Amino acid sequence: MSTFFGVTRMIRTGTLLLALLFLPSGAAAQETARDLIDRVDRLLRGQSSHAVATMEVVTENWERSMSLELWSLGTDYSLIRITAPKKEEGTATLMADDEIWNYLPRVDRTIKIPASMMMGAWMGSHFTNDDLVKESQLIDDYDIEFSYEGARDGVEVWELALTPKAEAAVVWGHIEYQVRKSDTMPTWARYYDEDGTLVRTMTFSDFQTMGGRLVPMAMDMHPEDKPGERTSVRYTELEFDIDIDESFFSLRALRSGGR
Amino acid sequence: MSAGPWWRIGWRNLGRNQRRTLITALGLAFGYFAVVFMIGWAEGLVAEMIENGTGILTGQLQVHDLDYRPERKIYDTIGGREGSDVDRLVATVAADPAIAAAAPRVFVGGLISSGEATRAGLLMGVDPGLEPQVSRLMRGLIAGAAPAAETNQIMIGAEMARQLGVEVGDEVILVVPAADGSMGNDLYAVSGIYRTGMAELDGSYAVLPITSLQYLAALDPNRIHEIAATTTDAWLAPEAAERIAAGLAPLELGVEVEPWTRLRPEMLDYTQLAKGWYFIVIVIVFAIAVFGVANTMLMATYERRREIAVMLALGTTPWRITLTVLFEAIALGFIALVVGAVITFPLLAWWHNSPPDLSWLYGDFTMFGALVRPVLRVEYNFPMAIWTGVALLMTALLAALYPAARASRIPPADTLSGL
């Protein structure tokens, strides 16, 4: 699922190298829908990564911008630390396995986010806590098939429909992805509820080669029920396969500043 | 009364078989007691439901921004983004003659955390001086004290305290999505633990000083979400709401003033249902009594058939015979009514003033989200007591119609000749 975790997930590499070995991009035309989503999903994963990003949240009631520093390791660990504005500098979120912990520098305490708050907003954004920990792969939870192939606004694309498997514990009724044929980059993902109503749209843009791979540097989440509201994430730095281990993602490290 | 001797004959016939008269009268009297008592008990349940449904938290009247309900967004404060003159608003509401007390409130949903345990809760900012006069929440303390004004103290429910594993004096962390988009967070000391008996309150509501919560949620001191008020009598709330709404209109704040009858329409619906139910009870109880009385009257007239035959033979019209029997029934009804009232009202007064404990029969339960204690609480309902009395007399009269008609048609010659 391309969600806020996708933010960290997309900057993970590793498996993409494998994907490239077995699936040269020229072979894309032969790919099944499942392979294609797997490739997009793997694009957003990696062994480890480090990034600097800004997150801009626009709501009906306020607008704010935050600077973030992000680290990830595998699919189980990631850490996001707010570096600006001053009021929230040092606030950090640790995802380890399926748990989320927030560090609050003002009171120097960590709190665990309860399961009941998983659909709650992360730091006031349009991403949910669930987005941060969702670690299962799309191809495990969804049946995938092509719903469209051809030109959209002059660009050759595939569109794919992802329907949850009966036993999958997912929150969406179904998801749609659009992927460019030329470089198999995702352009948008649309999330629908169980009634088939569009809930939110994530768009990917500003594709650049960072750390030796092509990735979208900008992602925008638009909630459908609140027109005009959005959360935009822009990467300014991105590096892959950095030298960190699991101890980096501990509660102690969370409190001590992650260094 | 121009009824002549017929009334006296009817009355004296009652004395003919005093035991039978007494038993029949007692039957009717008990019917009267049963109905009045059941209505009193039902009224007690309704009153209990309204008092607890409004008294624990809601209040009997609330003032909000027009946009506040039902979403209850943190931004929709009274007077909009600019806020309002809170002290003046509270004073205006409290000045209404039907209002006993009024208090400002701020509500913010947030997380309450201690150690590894974190729970979502509704944080309620209150004026510690005014709030106890409006809601009983702060009077339900089972440990510690209410939070003091202007401090980082918090009062939580017993269920939440259990879930968080905290006691009085422990520290909890509050995290709230603030009105400016930031994450407000701070340390609070648990000053007290309350219990209302209502799981949804005890497990989710946390009470802290209003100024402290406003600071945490980045709300200016002039921004509040609600003014809650209690009335001197719950049924005065709708009129009071109209007066207050009219009084606040010149301020052009865009507020709604809602009495509990509109905030909790299900409770009002139930009271209406209960009123309809009272009449059904009357009908059922007296429908049963009607056959008992009719039987008695049939026996009484059959017993006197020779006497009636003599009266008819002497020239009494059948209508006079009918009247005699009807008078007898009405007299019986009056005796029953007096006996019923003598049994009913002292008992009712006793139970009203010291309700018997029924916890052996049932425990606390909630009705429409309102706690109802296991006591036999009865409330007076004099109009219904009068209606019940009228129903009793009508029952006696109705029961006598058939026996009276039969009595008037007794064939004198055949009866007297022993046929």
pLDDT of residue A5: 44
Residues composing chain A: 259
Nearest chain B residue to A84, by CA: B182
The vertex-A88 CA angle with A82 and A90, nearest 5°, equals 50
Residues B181, A116: C-beta atoms closer than 8 Å: no
Q: Which residue, among A80, A77, A120, has the nearest Cα to A99 in the 3D structure? A: A77
Considering only CB atoms, B111 lies closest to which of A61, A62, A111, namely: A111
- Give counts: helices (H), strands (E), chain B: 14, 12
Q: For residue A233, give the amino acid letter.
A: V
- CB-based contact, B80 to chain A, within 8 Å: no
**pLDDT per position as a tens digit, A70-112:** 998 877 888 999 998 988 899 999 988 778 899 999 899 999 9
- Between CA B259 and CA B263, with CA B262 as vertex, the angle to 5 degrees is 80
Do residue B182 and residue A112 have CB atoms under 8 angstroms apart? Answer: no
Q: How many contacts does A have with B, using Cβ atoms within 8 A?
A: 56
User: What is the per-residue pLDDT for B197?
Assistant: 81
| pTM for this prediction | 0.77
Q: Does B71 touch chain A (CB under 8 A)?
A: no
CA atoms within 13 A on the CB side of A225: 6
What per-residue confidence (pLDDT) applies to A84?
A: 87
Interface of A with B (CB under 8 A): 57, 59, 61-64, 87-88, 91, 102, 104, 106-107, 109, 111-114, 116-117, 120-121, 123-124
- The percent of chain A in helix, strand and coil, each rounded to the nearest 5, is 20, 45, 35
- In this prediction, residue B334 carries a pLDDT of 94
Nearest Cβ partner of A87 from B177, B182, B187? B182
Q: Give the separation between CA B419 and CA B415, rounded to whole angstroms.
A: 6
Query: In the prediction, which pLDDT does B64 show?
Result: 94
pLDDT at A13: 38
Report the C-alpha gap between A15 and A23 in whole angstroms: 12
Q: Which residue has the tokens 């005796």?
A: B335
Q: Which residues fall within 8 angstroms of residue B264, CB to CB, at 6 or more apart?
A: B53, B54, B58, B368, B369
Q: Are B209 and B217 in contact (CB under 8 A)?
A: no
Q: Which residue has the higher pLDDT, B372 or B398?
A: B398
Digit-coded pLDDT (tens) for B113-123 = 998 899 999 99
Q: Which residues pair with B257 in a beta bridge?
A: B63
| A123: nearest CA partner in chain B | B183
| B186 Cβ contact list (under 8 Å, min separation 6) | A106, A107, B152, B173, B174, B216
Average pLDDT (B272-282) is 90
Q: Is B111 on the interface with A (CB under 8 A)?
A: yes
H/E stretch holding A110: strand A109-112
Residues of B in contact with A106 (CB under 8 A): 185-186
Question: What's the confidence (pLDDT) of residue B51?
Answer: 84
For residue range B141-181, list pLDDT tens digits in order: 999 999 999 999 999 999 999 999 999 999 999 999 999 98
Chain A residues in contact with B177 by the CB 8 A cut-off are: 121, 124
CA distance B105 to B225: 6
B183 vs A contacts (CB less than 8 Å): 88, 91, 104, 123-124
